[in-house]
């Protein structure tokens, strides 16, 4: 299936559109940092190995919980840009049903133009964060099934 912006969840589509309008890489970075700044305070108690994203150069933590059968993520990172990626993904994926998150592909990053601006380790970090969020969504889905 080829990627189309219409196939994205509404919040994620909005984010992709926002980044598409920012043609200057510096603007994209500013936008990314803005997403990181919008994240609510992450509880220190949640900074545990189970919530740590593997394979990231920076320290990244993600939690997921269910509210009305929708996944609610929280996240944090010690790197400003990585925290922006976390913020972007949380804003894009929060409130979706677990199966919607599990079936998403990370192709939308190409649409934002960020993949061009990101260093290989950050791009890799993005995929690791995305995959961790999918894994946590799957765990939430298992909770619904039981």
Residue numbers annotated as active site: 56
The C-alpha atoms of residue 81 and residue 36 are separated, in whole angstroms, by 7
Single out the residue of 94, 98, 90 nearest to residue 141, CA to CA. 98
């Amino acid at each position: 299936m080829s990627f189309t912006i219409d196939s994205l969840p509404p919040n994620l589509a909005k984010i992709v559109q926002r980044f598409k309008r920012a043609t200057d890489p510096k603007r994209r970075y500013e936008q990314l940092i803005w997403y990181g700044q919008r994240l609510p305070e992450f509880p220190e108690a949640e900074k545990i190995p189970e919530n740590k994203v593997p394979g990231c150069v920076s320290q990244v933590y993600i939690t997921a919980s269910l509210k009305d059968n929708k996944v609610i993520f929280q996240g944090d990172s010690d790197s400003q840009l990585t925290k922006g990626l976390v913020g972007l993904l949380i804003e894009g994926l929060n409130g979706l049903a677990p199966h919607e998150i599990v079936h998403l592909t990370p192709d939308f990053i190409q649409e934002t133009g960020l993949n061009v601006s990101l260093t290989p380790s950050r791009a890799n970090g993005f995929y690791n964060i995305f995959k961790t969020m999918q894994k946590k969504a799957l765990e939430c889905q298992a909770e619904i099934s039981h």
